[in-house]
Structure 1
Amino acid sequence: MNLARYCLSNASPSGAKTALEVVGPGAEVLEVWSYDRLTATVLAVAAGLRATGMKTGDRILLRVGHSSDFPLLFFGAIAGGFVPVPTSALLTSSEASAILADSGAGLVLHDGETVLPEGDGIPFLGPDGIQDLKSSPPGSFAESRDGDPAFLIYTSGTSGTPKGVLHAQRAASARRPMYEGWYGISAADRLLHAGAFNWTYTLGVGLMDPWANGATSIVYDGPRDPEIWPGIIEKSRASLFAAVPSLYRRILKYGEVSPASFHALRHGLTAGEALPAGLYSDWKNRTGRELYEALGMSEISTYISSGPDLAVRPGSPGKPQAGRKVAVLRETTDAEDFALAGEAGLLAVHRDEPGLMLGYWNRPEETAAAFRGDWFLTGDRARKDEDGYYWYEGRADDLMNAFGYRVAPEEVERVLASHPQVLEVAVTAVPARAGVSLVTAFVVPRDAKQFDEDSLASYAADHLAEYKRPKAFRIMDQLPRTPSGKVQRKSLRQT
């Protein structure tokens, strides 16, 4: 099992079929890569990396922006038996240096534009070196086993110091339950993903899954203003579009959207943060298209979702995909004690799940601590209803303490987001004085001039227990987010 070989040969597509299409502003086609050309170049990179003297299992740091070179180098490294370490092009030198040191990478590949880490004694290959790799005589796929390391990706750091998540060669084939359980994907599809390549959401949804199904992956390279996306979706003839909820919200706010828009699009896909029920309804009403949510994380990718074969319940990401072992464990015990229907607890995935990470890089204690018996604790809270739908209750480490009660920010956010004057909202506990924190709502109003804070406070009083209600409201132009679109509550606490 070699992950790159699986992705490029699982569906046995015609060699002449388009695997990758890079489009620019106005959806102008900039590059077209057939499956034959893509595979040959990936194998050329693999052979070129072997020629550098790198050994099987060696890590390779990628400092490459949003271009076709990123997937060629990522899959080329895996094809050669090496372990790529993708990183965000937005990282500073010190941030990239920390990842380089922690990963122990023995080679840095860079595009000449991305900020570089400091790495004394470590070889750096720039644009000319990358071109040489792509021009090497193609070799063959390394004979990897399904449990061998494939790639090392670092978490976004929203809950602390970024740490490496090591995935196995089987990680791509373990995504099969998503094909029907979320996408409804086929070889005829053209999938456009709005995210950056370094993110697991993009690597999986934007590249691995379309190629493993013989479909076409569309990559947009250009300005990322929200109003341009309806035109890109339409002119690229995308049949599937994947993005974070916050981008869907901005598309609806700034773009021209109607049921007549993007005629080829069957439905949208979203993950990376919770999809508010109001945003789902707005998208469906404005576009006439479904929007299917999935819940996942860097350590396992998605495992709960809605899809063409599962009716959406607004506010819920759906049910576990076929074959997934998912449970909600009680928070009040260290035993494998399962929560009752409707009871919020810790969301967990069984260690037998083939898509689960091999472990946290060089952190065996943290890896062990992430398990309760045979269950991997995702760090998310959730509840399951009587019909088997799961409802996300936020990160366990985001819980607020209000008058001795534990309160999940997402619960308060769901209520406030349903108020007609609220476009976006994030809730967190903000220190007021020594030993005292106030539940505070940071609100992006639909119309700042007409926003009525008293109306929102009254609405909260009608829908939330007194201890859950925000004690302060702050108006924002926008919420601080990570490059992957997640709200940075830590930044809000310091606002």
Structure 2
Amino acid sequence: MEPCPTPFNLADTVLAAGRATPDKIALAVLGPARAERWSFARLEAAVRGLAGGLLARGLRPGDRVLLRIGNTPAFPVAFLGCVTAGLIPVPTAEGLTVPELDRITPLVAPAAILAAPGVTLPSAPPCPVMTDLDALMDHAPADYAMGDPDRLAYLVFTSGSSGAPKPVAHAHRAVWARRMMWDGWYGLRPADRVLHAGAFNWTFTLGTGLLDPWAIGATALIPAPGTAPEALGLLLRRHDATLFAAAPGVFRKLLHGDTPLALPKLRHALAAGEKLPESLRARWQDATGTAIHEALGMSECSTFVSGSPGRPAPAGTLGYPQPGRRVAILAEDGTPVAQGETGILAIHRGDPGLMLGYLTDGAPALPLTGDWFLTGDLVSADPDGALRYHGRRDDLLTTGGFRVSPLEIEAALQSAPGLADCAACAVAVKAHTEVIALAFTGPADPAALAALAEARLARYKQPRLYIPLPALPRSPNGKLDRRALARLLKDRT
């Protein structure tokens, strides 16, 4: 792809396309009775007004601003307004508790907190808390703070699924790098109407659901807070969505039952956040007549491997590195693995979408093995370059001296009669002894599951315990929380 232009500002680039169609709807928050609509002109005016308001309150470029705002238009306005002014927004999940906020707030040392009424705050905010967001938006507009595309633009927190959440520092150029997804994953067009089912603070939603549609001049559709996944089909149809993006867990809930989904305007769907089961992909195709194109990504680099309308992923694979990405499959020591062997997916330090680093002692630090950032995702490459996913390095289960991917076990059992959802996990049954357990939902028969495992899996891969649950623990965005599942199963055995 073309090098990122300079001088550069992320917010300016995101909103530039909309200036050609100022009256076009940029954002619609879809409620049960009505939609709240924002034109591109209104969106940019609010963004630049908030930027001016924050600078008038004494904030200075480089200051960090903690965002405590839910799924309302104020969230993207606050995010882009901070970036416009040269401030560093730090989006956080609306549902964080006071203890969680007390742990992460010192890591970013904010100069201000932008908060919606009623949203949880740290127990002792270390800086001013501003809740008059409408007044800030009405301020005289600020100009875009232009500069080096490699300078810090925003911070996001990792999910914490592999430990404590870490602040990830991204440069302004990150939004330019996202253009590799427009053809490499989405097939995105200016006329699209993109409905994303995730929360704004999630990087998948922030990028795929808001920034990318706006950067090409398309419309972003967001369900109002509290919308049940089962209601998404009606919203997709009623509002003529052409693309639908969600985590696999949302697709699963939307497909509850066998009723076909009539979505005449939908071209295809997009999935990320965790591995999409092939059985779920097939059910969506049967119910809607459209494909799901899956992507692999992470907070540190957004998505960078995917199938797309122009190059669908071969069955059983993730797809291909997006054109322009710099990736490799390496061993722990940073040396390339042989073709077809499983190794760690790595991103070159020169990939324009890679983070500046994890914020450590106030400055970003990028952990590298040679010139490569090791993602922790285990993959192998087919002869045509398509990548097969084998799970996270830290999710592998050890049994009988063998290392087993929970994804392999789950894929073998996904088609069992009566099984709605499942996840494999290691469970301690006595001191120094762990076995593989399968947690599942739905009226599946444990004996039938065991028989299916015996037919499809080697002995050492077969679960020894089958534990029914009312639901698997998932994040608000539908992503499986394997650490929470391990704790839950430990309490039940």
Whether the TM-score (by the shorter chain) exceeds 0.5 is: yes
Secondary structure at 1:414 match in 2? helix
Say if 2:354 is the partner of 1:356.
Answer: yes
Instruction: Compute the displacement of 1:486 (Å).
Output: 2.0
**2:313 touches 2:320 (CA, 8 Å); kept in 1?**
no
In the TM superposition, residue 121 of structure 1 has moved relative to its aligned partner by 4.7
Which residue in 1 is equivalent to 2:167?
164
CA contact (8 A) 1:227 1:254 kept: no
Cα-to-partner distance string for 1:280-302 (whole Å, 9 max, x where unaligned): 00100111011111100000000
Q: In structure 2, what is the equivalent of residue 443 of structure 1?
A: 440
Identity score, percent:
42
Q: Determine which of 442, 449, 461 is the counterpart of 1:456.
A: 449
The 5-angstrom pairing of residues 403-482 of structure 1 reads: 403-445=400-442, 448=443, 451-482=444-475
Where does residue 134 of structure 1 map in the other structure?
A: 137
Cα distance per residue 1:182-225 (max 9 Å; x no partner): 11111101111110000000110011100110001112214322
Is the alpha carbon distance of 1:197 and 1:254 closer, same or farther for their aligned partners in structure 2, counting shifts above 3 Å?
Answer: farther
Q: Distance in 1 between matches of 2:51 and 2:299?
A: 25
Q: What is the CA distance between 1:120 and its match in structure 2?
A: 4.6
Tell me how far 1:119 sits from its aligned partner: 3.4
Distance 1:315 1:119, change over 3 A: farther
Q: Which residue number corresponds to residue 5 of structure 2?
A: none
- Partners of 1:58 and 1:255 in 2: CA distance: 52
Separation (CA, whole Å) in 2 of partners of 1:176 and 1:147: 16
Q: Which residue of 2 aligns with 1:224?
A: 227
SS at match of 1:179: helix
Task: Verify the 8 A CA contact 1:17 1:35 in the aligned structure 2.
Answer: yes
Structure 1, residues 322-363: CA drift from partner, whole Å, max 9, x if none? 0111211124xx1x3222233111111111101100000116
Aligned equivalents of 2:282 and 2:78: distance in 1? 40
Q: What is residue 20 of structure 2 aligned with on the other side?
A: 13
> Once the 2 structures are TM-superposed, how far is the Cα of residue 255 of structure 1 from its aligned partner?
8.2
Give the aligned partner of residue 233 of structure 1.
Answer: 236
Aligned position for 2:4: none
Q: 1:25 maps to what in 2? A: 32
Segment drifting more, 193-202 vs 461-470: 461-470
Q: In the alignment, does 2:87 pair up with 1:82?
A: yes
Q: In structure 2, what is the equivalent of residue 337 of structure 1?
A: 335
Question: Residues 136-189 of structure 1: CA distance to partner in whole angstroms, max 9, x if unpaired?
Answer: 011210113201111101111111011100100011010011001111111101
Please list, as runs of the form range in 1=range in 2, the aligned pairs for 1:119-158 lying within 5 A after superposition.
119-126=124-131, 129-158=132-161
**Corresponding residue for 1:42?**
47
Alignment partners' CA distance in 1, 2:339 and 2:283: 29
Partners of 1:491 and 1:393 in 2: CA distance: 21
Shift in alpha-carbon separation, 1:25–1:384, aligned structure 2, 3 A:
same
Unmatched runs of 5 consecutive residues or more in structure 1: none
Residues 119-139 of structure 1 show CA distances to partners (whole Å, capped at 9, x for unaligned) of: 35510111xx21221110112
Counterpart residue identity of residue 247, structure 1: V
Provide, for residues 93-127 of structure 1, a one-character-per-residue CA deviation record: whole Å limited to 9, x for no partner.
Answer: 1212222211100101111111111335510111x
Instruction: State whether residues 230 and 255 of structure 1, in contact with CA within 8 Å, keep that contact through their aligned partners in structure 2.
Output: no
Q: Do the aligned partners of 2:47 and 2:137 also contact (CA within 8 Å) in 1?
A: yes
Whether the 8 Å CA contact 1:276–1:315 is kept in 2: the answer is: no
Change (3 A) 1:48 1:308: same
Distance in 2 separating the partners of 1:66 and 1:246:
19
Match of 2:480 among 465, 487, 492: 487
Partner amino acid for 2:137?
A: K
Q: Distance in 1 between matches of 2:411 and 2:363?
A: 35
Distance 1:468 1:102 in 2: 41
Stretches of structure 2 lacking an aligned partner (at least 5 in a row):
1-7, 489-493
**Whole-angstrom distance in 1 between the partners of 2:363 and 2:40:** 42
Residue 252 of structure 1: aligned partner: 255
Aligned partner of 2:291: which letter?
E
Spell out, residue by residue over 1:236-277, the C-alpha distance to the aligned partner (whole angstroms, 9 max, x if none): 11111111111111101158433xx12111111110010000
Contact 1:13 1:35 in 2 (8 A): no
**What residue identity is the alignment partner of 1:462?**
A
- 71, 75, 80: which is aligned to 2:76? 71
Aligned residue pair count: 481
Q: Is the contact between residue 42 and residue 79 of structure 1 (CA under 8 Å) also seen in structure 2? A: yes
Q: How far does residue 453 in structure 1 lie from its aligned partner after superposition?
A: 1.9
Give the secondary structure class of the aligned counterpart of 1:204: helix
Rounded to whole Å, the distance in 2 between the matches of 1:363 and 1:325 is 29
Question: What's the CA shift for 1:452?
Answer: 2.4
Distance 2:364 2:453 in 1: 39
Q: Aligned-residue CA RMSD in angstroms? A: 1.7
1:112 to 104, 114, 117: 117
User: Offset of 1:10 from its aligned partner?
Assistant: 4.5
1:240 & 1:388 partners in 2: Cα distance? 26
Greater shift, 4-13 or 467-476, is seen at 4-13
Q: Work out whether residues 229 and 255 of structure 1, in 8 Å CA contact, stay in contact via their aligned partners in 2.
A: no
Q: 1:454 is paired with a residue of what secondary structure?
A: helix
Q: 1:405 to 1:206 in 2, by over 3 A?
A: same
For residues 377 and 417 of structure 2, the distance between their equivalents in structure 1, rounded to whole angstroms, comes to 28
- Write the distance in 2 (CA, Å) between the matches of 1:97 and 1:222: 25
What amino acid is aligned across from residue 397 of structure 1 in structure 2?
A: D
Report SS of the residue matched to 1:118.
coil
Residue 274 of structure 2 aligns to which amino acid in structure 1? Answer: E
